[in-house]
Structure 1
Amino acid sequence: MPLHRTCIVATVLLGAGFASPACANEDDFNIWLGQFATINATDDVYVRVEAQERFTNDADRLGQLLLRSLVGYRINKDVNIGAGYAYILTDPVGPAQLNEHRFYQELNVRLLSTAGGVTLDSRTRLEQRTFEEREDTSWRLRSFVQLRVPITEKGHRLVAYTEPFIDLNETGVQRGGLSVWRNFVGVSIPVAKGIEVVPGYLNQHVLRDGQDRSDHTANVNLFMTF
């Protein structure tokens, strides 16, 4: 089995990125912050807006800023669909910065919901990535699965998710095939009605033609529902 495939399999088996695969990777420490707001326009229609600040290179600089919006429709209590737009400024060390305009569509399905409060949710997202510095359009598929398990009577929940990114074509910014795999584990902390903070550890494994990169990330997200 090729080395990079062995690394990915090892990452998945270790579970939610608690440890890096024992492979020759470039490592980086990140801090990612996120603010997410869901606004219920009607019982069926909602709007979601978010901002994410990603500090990279040993959390020394703002390497990426993401601003995203979406309009969603609830088909029923377990299924909803949505479409949106995101602007992403990526400012890596060395290469020139990229200004990305991303259009996307997504399908969200609740796969499991128990009387004890355990939930398992999936999100399938198709992205069309365009860049001011490039002429082509990059197509990408993301498959997100998240488990939430109650751990205290006060509403705290264990949160774990996995999300592989599949490049559907090869462009100046995409290599084609499996390109990124994210795994997260953390705890949901209720702050007030409709507001929660979710701190945790996120591992982002980036597959590259040369040496792969593994980002070890302290991730703190704020979720609000109105």
Structure 2
Amino acid sequence: MNLRPIAPTAAAALFVTSAPAIATEEDGNIWLGQFATINATDKVFVRLEAQERFTNDAERLGQLLLRSYVGYRINKDVNIGGGYAFVLTDPVGPVELNEHRFYQELNVRLLTTPGGTTLDSRTRLEQRIFEEQEDTQWRLRQFVQLRVPISEKGHRIVAYSEPFVDLDEGSVQRGGLSIWRNFVGVSIPLAKGIEVVPGYLNQHVFRDGQDRSDHTANVNLFMTF
């Protein structure tokens, strides 16, 4: 069998075409994210992030997420850690939800090619606690991201896929596959340790009634110190 390198556009399509079937309910979103990684030592680092998600045809702030993480590098390709996130969800109609989310992560570099293409995996286990609710709900997320160089200036095609699986049922979770996100965009270096990644993200939400598909203009800023 002849193996040939995957072209950037084909690699991106590999992720995006894994999205579930088109839903009957759709929404246009704009999601912004700011991510800062601070290296405390060669082994220990801290990650801080904020995400603002504008929903309902991007007319209102539907969700605000603030997240922190402390990680430990086992080696150059593997790190583990855990953190806490506060999530404010403000949908149209239902009351606001304040969520306190604790989580643990395993991050693994699966592939690095001589040309600079990388494939990364992130496995995240979440414990979700909602104010005014008594139960703690568990969720598993499996993130896989491909980055392919496309220029000598450091630009890369970025594509990822991430299914969310509810490990139990509760006041908010329905159990089973609940969300599937697929993204394709371009990494643009701005300075040493700083890059912006604009792109398109599709979020498919599985529900007992009609599913929902969010078509999202997503712009993330990443900084490393």
CA shift at 1:115, angstroms? 1.1
The one-letter amino acid of 1:173's match is V
> 2:20–2:204: 8 Å Cα contact kept in structure 1?
no
Unmatched 5+ stretches in structure 1: 1-13
Residue correspondence of structure 1 range 1-226 to structure 2 within 5 A:
15-17=14-16, 23-226=22-225
Q: Deviations over 1:1-38 (max 9, x none)?
A: xxxxxxxxxxxxx6444797664420000000000000
**Aligned partners of 1:200, 1:22: CA distance in 2, in Å?**
21
22 and 45 in structure 1: CA distance in 2 versus 1, 3 angstrom threshold? closer
Q: Deviations over 1:174-208 (max 9, x none)?
A: 00000000000000000000000000000000000
User: 4+ runs of 1 displaced by more than 3 Å?
Assistant: 14-24
The one-letter amino acid of 2:64's match is L
Query: Across the two proteins, how many residue pairs are aligned to each other?
Result: 214
**Aligned partners of 1:23, 1:150: CA distance in 2, in Å?**
31
70 and 213 in structure 1: CA distance in 2 versus 1, 3 angstrom threshold? same
> 1:124–1:144: 8 Å Cα contact kept in structure 2?
yes
**Aligned partners of 1:106, 1:17: CA distance in 2, in Å?**
24
CA shift at 1:134, angstroms? 1.1
Partner residue in 1 for 2:9:
none
Unmatched 5+ stretches in structure 2: 1-12
Query: Sequence identity of aligned pairs in percent?
Result: 82
**Aligned partners of 2:101, 2:62: CA distance in 1, in Å?**
18
CA shift at 1:79, angstroms? 0.4
With structure 2 as the length reference, what TM-score do the two structures score? 0.92
> 1:118–1:148: 8 Å Cα contact kept in structure 2?
yes
CA shift at 1:47, angstroms? 0.2
Secondary structure, aligned partner of 1:183:
strand
